[in-house]
Amino acid sequence: MKASNYSTVEEFALDRRFRKFILDPNQKDQEKWEKFLKNHPEKILLVREAKELVIWLNDSKAISNELRLEEHDKKQLWKRIISEAKAKQVSKVPEYRIKDEARDLPINNRFNLKVLGIAASLAMLLTAGIWVYMKELSMEPPVELHSVEWVSNENAPGIKSSIRLSDGSKVILNAGSKIRYQNQFEESSREIFLEGEAFFEVAKDTIRPFIVHTGQFTTMALGTSFNIRSFEGKATEVTLVSGVIQVENQNHLESEILSPGEAVTLDKSISPKKKVDTKRVIAWTKKTITFDKAEFQDLVDELSNWYGVNIKTEGMKRRTPTITATYQDESLENILLGLSYKLDFNYKINGKQVEITFK
């Protein structure tokens, strides 16, 4: 069966090619599975769980002595595994006998009963010789553990910043925005929490998905670039520039996979995909403000955040013309001067306070 047809963790974990990729990777395998996950992002979570399961069953060296089983407990656990496997009516195989020199079986608290059930099924297949014993393979040395801390970066209105994450990914954080992330990402995922707008250039990692949380929605990628705009009180906009991303809601009932040049709006649900001009969407990262048929109040909000000022308006007509314009590294003075002719208003700039009075 092709990997694209796999629908369970067990199917990936039992695939000899997949186990070789996890336990003894080479450049060819790396490129192959990168391409697979790029074409099938919906399989990312299955692959992540299968990876942990393969390592858990194969490698006990990374587990501290305190977490290793005594021989009696080990036999009891294997009996439980075999019992559960039989209950699931797995194909009959000869009884598995544990030899004295059997490797320590680690208890990993991260694995719940679901994973234990998967291990039960695999244990029976192990005895039938389907599982390839990888003891002789050269394994990477244990990774030194680092304390994980959450880091927050918050930009005041008028301030933008560039952030380099521990995996090499780059984040350009817009004004009036906040991002929270771990100083060292976990082995299974790279998770970000965003309030406001940011552009992400994600370093490739075929196993650890890059997940951005915005309110009730998540955006997941492996190695790609995309923009998320998620300010309080407004719908979230996700735009893909390169690669592939998957957007879904928290209960996993809705999801959408985007291709480059596509965008979705996230409010109470995920909108249909639409084609967009990505250059306009990420123009802000190059000191360029763009407006595309923007309402005047949206323009005011954008200028307030961009320049870090408080704009007060008086006498605004109920309906004003929408604005379509691009400003490249312009001063607030020049922008307001040009708009005042088109919209017929006077303005006054006093430090961080701006007054606009319509005629």
The per-residue pLDDT for 34 is 82
The per-residue pLDDT for 56 is 66
CATH 3.40.1390.10 fits 150-280, yes or no: no
Q: Which secondary-structure segment (H or E) carries 12?
A: helix 9-13
Which residue(s) pair with 197 in the sheet?
229
Q: Are 220 and 45 in contact (CB under 8 A)?
A: no
The per-residue pLDDT for 14 is 67
Give CA–CA dist 97/112, Å, rounded: 25
**CA 163 and chain centroid, separation:** 16
Two domains, one topology: 150-280 and 287-358: no
**Whether residue 82 has pLDDT greater than 80:** no
- β-pairing, 288-294 vs 323-328, is antiparallel
Which residue(s) pair with 179 in the sheet?
153, 194
Of 266, 264, 220, 265, residue with least CA distance to 243: 220
- For residue 213, what is the DSSP state? E
Give CA–CA dist 210/266, Å, rounded: 19
Distances 35 to 55, 122, 244 between C-alpha atoms, Å: 22, 27, 11
Average per-residue pLDDT in the chain?
76
Tokens representing 100 are 């004295």
The per-residue pLDDT for 147 is 63
pLDDT tens for residues 88-131?
433 333 333 323 333 333 334 344 444 444 454 444 344 333 33
pLDDT tens for residues 327-339?
999 999 999 999 9
Cα-based angle 121, 118, 125 (whole degrees, multiple of 5): 25
pLDDT tens for residues 290-306?
998 899 989 999 999 99
CA dihedral 186, 32, 204, 51 (to 10 degrees): -10
pTM above 0.85, yes or no: no
**Whether residue 74 has pLDDT greater than 50:** no
pLDDT tens for residues 52-66?
777 766 654 333 333
Report helix, strand or coil for 132.
coil
The per-residue pLDDT for 146 is 53
**Whether residue 1 has pLDDT greater than 50:** yes
**Whether residue 3 has pLDDT greater than 90:** no
pLDDT tens for residues 309-326?
999 999 887 677 889 999
Long-range contacts of 185-194 (CB under 8 A, 24+ apart): 186/148, 188/48, 188/52, 189/48, 190/165, 194/228, 194/230
The per-residue pLDDT for 105 is 35
- In percent, the amount of the chain with pLDDT more than 70 equals 73
Q: Are 316 and 347 in contact (CB under 8 A)?
A: no
The residues spanned by each domain of the chain are: 3-127, 150-280, 287-358
pLDDT tens for residues 216-237?
899 988 778 999 999 988 999 9
pLDDT tens for residues 166-211?
999 999 999 999 999 999 998 888 999 999 999 999 998 877 889 9
Fold of 287-358: Phage tail protein beta-alpha-beta fold (3.55.50)
Tokens representing 355 are 């007054």
